[in-house]
Structure 1
Amino acid sequence: MNNLSIKIVLLLTLFSAQFLNAQEINRDKLDKFFSAIEENNEGSGSVAIMKDGKLLYQNTYGFKNYEDSLRPTVNTQFRIGSITKTFTASLIMMAVEEGELELNNKLSTYYPDFENSDSITITHLLQHRSGLYNFTNSPFFATYMTQEKTKEEMLTILQSGEIQFQPGEKYEYSNTGYVLLSFILEDVYNQPFEELLNEKIIEPLNLERTAFEKTINLNDDEALSYIKTTEWIKAPVTNMSITMGAGAISSTAAETCKFFEHLFSGKLVSENSLAKMTAMTDNYGYGLFSMPYNNDFVIGHTGGIDGFQAVSCYNPDDGLSVTVLCNAVSFSRNEILLGLLNAYYNKPYEIPDFKATVNVPEETLKAYVGLYTSESFPLDIEIKLVEGLLQAQATGQSAFPLTATDDSTFVFKPAGIKMIFDSPKNELKLEQAGRAFTLTKE
């Protein structure tokens, strides 16, 4: 799923590095890396590095339940969000191999009431090229996301959005397509998606802590998720009957690595099917996308739902899989993944320093409060002062806290956002992922 709490977070971007032959992982330094995150209250989660079926490193940090100060274990389940799409795409390819469907089958074969259903294929749904509106972007999504929905109710919701473009015309991420793919799987096998997932992936791979779950079971070592304002606030819990094959799976870091390793080693789908899954169009295949690293790439998926954020990747060149699962994120999951990759490949990385922040006088902060707009930026940004701290809120999204690095520069590390205020000009410069926008205060 898209991150339902902070949708401005971009997909994973890794910086180029050079693959080296891996040496012994410096466990002590990695342990200090995660201790720094925990000790500075910058987040919680679980991580794993696996190669050729051998678990090389795993760790947990922070809390799975802040209210009761309960710490996660390596067996704690986290919601993996859109990494679920890789599982769903794998099930689709299994169905193709078993003759249950074909990639050029039209949506009209299963759900003819959708606009353009005669032109939308299974491939379009897999590659986010269907033109179907992404239902999680709707302002109404938050009004029902915690409620259990029937298949019929979800189909009504999915059909309510307007077509965004003609099938195949371009790539545009849409959870709608992957919910439909899970419904199509249910139809062709005449089984619930959960049963198919268990029968074809979870049980054969012996994934004991991976599951489709509609709600979070606190009695079964499962993590809650949190969003940070002035403190960690428990996030709403999306009901998984809504997200289905787009984002309904919970797992551990080690078992997510194990899934990717088995997928790429041919234990789930054929070599031909895997080749189709990894053939990228606009950087997206079937439930997979490429992530630059070493002037080459690793392959995987990110995930975000409620306060959970996740990323898992696999290097086809040497069989390495790395997973980061977070239930509370202030320090970026991307930086955590980079730290793990660099640790394995013996590349430099720094233990994060969270002391490089400053206290800005409240009178200075008050001058930044207001609504900022720009014709070149699709969202309005409202800057608010809450209990002496700045918060930013984009149109239709949740507020997020800003941390000062000097009197006029503020960052939101989970999304890689920097905001630079110019009070005399009533301007705000927003920087993210190498792009910059200037917004003016109304």
Structure 2
Amino acid sequence: MNKIGRLFAALCCVSAIWLTCVPAQAGYDPVKVHEIILRLGAEAMNNPQLPGISIAVLEKGGDEPVTAAFGTANVENACAMTPQSRFKIGSVTKVFTAALIHRLIEEGKLTYETTIDRFFPQFPDGSVIRIRHLLTHTSGIMDMLRLEDVCGNMTRYRTPEELIAMVGAQPLLFVPGTRQQYSNTGFLMLSVIAEKVAGESYEKQIATLFQGTLGMRTLLVGNDSAVVPHLASGYTNGKPSGLQLPIMASLAIARGTGNLEATPSDVVRLVNLDKILRKDVQDTLPLEPLVLDDGNEAISSQPTDNFSTSYLDGCTLFMFRDPEIILIGKLGSFPGFGTAYFYDQKTKIAVAISVNNEMAIPHAIGLGARILHELR
């Protein structure tokens, strides 16, 4: 971004900050939340990699998130970011898909031990791969985004059946349950399973439970041709400096695994999953890494990260070192976009943060942890 662009973003941060605040609930002070997200969000906007940020905070049982938006939603046309700006939320979609599966388990239509050959009889080793393996990324199934034909042309749409067959032609990476390795394919398969068991389309189930019951009015099941009102423009880092447009990619191909679009003020309503589930994993999961079949813990950490992670039952455990805090949540990225959703079991407060630069998601992660740590 040139000097004029950076100046505009800074001015937007000062003069076009959008905030909402609601009356205080017992044990929850929205005025304090307002002050924290205003201060920390403004600090984050000092980073020239951030065209814009949108933040939402909500306590379990609440209905009106406290929100703040900073910077620009579209750099080319100098459009300010607002709480109504939508984002492609990437893999945060997996929390929604997992909730559909959890609901079917509660209804007795599935179990964690159900094997996937019931739904994909032609899939190799389907008799030893279980629902729990898909939910915890321990299936050994190759990530569809690593297929040469897929990563070589990210704009081409393929049906779930095509993708599952393409992955099925590849050998398992490991014996199910013995390792943990991220697989988008597993959640694509879960979306298909949800349809087959419920007898309703993925889109209809999302609309009924999340748009309806949880009041996520801005939530959309994305496709590759729709014109989406208030959709922010996405960017990536350019060389030697500044921003550039990201690689083009099909959104519809990520069905059930990364194809939802929403505002952070609706994503944060995931804090109220107990409205649609008797057992909300956000509250019932122990704050401990997943234990593999051999008794070892599944923990991953990158040298540049300030946290370690472990994939749990449709979500992720985040163990932060600075600030020192353990959270349940999910990260999502899609070309041009990044979203972080975190829930604090101690305070029953959640935060959702979206940025319109795919390379800036580390800033959203750190900001989310700092907000929830200060709210303690």
Short-chain TM bin:
0.7 to 0.9
Report the equivalent of 2:55: 47
Name the amino acid aligned to 2:54. Answer: S
Higher helix share: 2
Question: Percent of pairs identical after alignment?
Answer: 22
Report the equivalent of 1:258: 269
Asked if 1:25 is matched to 2:19, the reply is no
Alpha-carbon contact 1:48-1:55 (below 8 Å) kept: no
Asked if 1:145 is matched to 2:174, the reply is no
The DSSP-based 3-state class of the residue aligned with 2:372 is: helix
Q: For 2:246, which of 209, 227, 235 is the aligned residue?
A: 235
| Counterparts in 2 of 1:63 and 1:216: CA distance versus 1, 3 Å | farther
Q: For 1:110, which of 91, 97, 119 is the aligned residue?
A: 119
Q: For 1:313, which of 320, 336, 342 is the aligned residue?
A: 342
| Counterparts in 2 of 1:60 and 1:215: CA distance versus 1, 3 Å | farther
Residues 299-327 of structure 1 deviation map (CA, whole Å, 9 limit, x = unaligned): 11111121211111111222111111111
Asked if 1:220 is matched to 2:220, the reply is no
| Counterparts in 2 of 1:262 and 1:272: CA distance versus 1, 3 Å | closer
Cα separation, 2, equivalents of 1:344 and 1:274: 18
Report the equivalent of 1:63: 72
Aligned residues: 322
The DSSP-based 3-state class of the residue aligned with 1:246 is: coil
The DSSP-based 3-state class of the residue aligned with 1:114 is: coil
Query: How far did 1:243 drift?
Result: 0.9
Report the equivalent of 2:363: 332
Alpha-carbon contact 2:98-2:135 (below 8 Å) kept: yes
Name the amino acid aligned to 1:339. Answer: R
Alpha-carbon contact 2:56-2:264 (below 8 Å) kept: yes
The DSSP-based 3-state class of the residue aligned with 2:265 is: helix
Alpha-carbon contact 1:30-1:343 (below 8 Å) kept: no
Report the equivalent of 1:34: 41
Alpha-carbon contact 2:87-2:232 (below 8 Å) kept: yes
The DSSP-based 3-state class of the residue aligned with 2:124 is: coil
Cα separation, 2, equivalents of 1:67 and 1:107: 47
Residues 196-228 of structure 1 deviation map (CA, whole Å, 9 limit, x = unaligned): 111223211111011211137555001221101
Cα separation, 1, equivalents of 2:189 and 2:363: 31
Gapped runs of 5+ residues in structure 1? Answer: 1-20, 346-442
The DSSP-based 3-state class of the residue aligned with 1:64 is: strand
Alpha-carbon contact 2:36-2:371 (below 8 Å) kept: no
Cα separation, 2, equivalents of 1:65 and 1:335: 24
Cα separation, 2, equivalents of 1:274 and 1:336: 20
Gapped runs of 5+ residues in structure 2? Answer: 1-26, 291-297, 299-309
**TM-score (normalizing by structure 2):** 0.77
| Counterparts in 2 of 1:193 and 1:54: CA distance versus 1, 3 Å | closer
Report the equivalent of 1:292: 319
Query: How far did 1:275 drift?
Result: 6.8
| Counterparts in 2 of 1:300 and 1:36: CA distance versus 1, 3 Å | closer
Cα separation, 1, equivalents of 2:65 and 2:221: 27
Report the equivalent of 1:270: 278
Cα separation, 2, equivalents of 1:106 and 1:128: 15
Name the amino acid aligned to 1:186. Answer: E
Cα separation, 1, equivalents of 2:217 and 2:73: 19
Which of 232-241 and 317-326 deviates more? 232-241
The DSSP-based 3-state class of the residue aligned with 1:59 is: strand
Query: How far did 1:42 drift?
Result: 2.5
Higher strand share: 1
Where in structure 2 are the equivalents of 1:158-237 lying within 5 Å? 158-215=167-224, 220-229=229-238, 230-237=241-248
Query: How far did 1:67 drift?
Result: 2.1
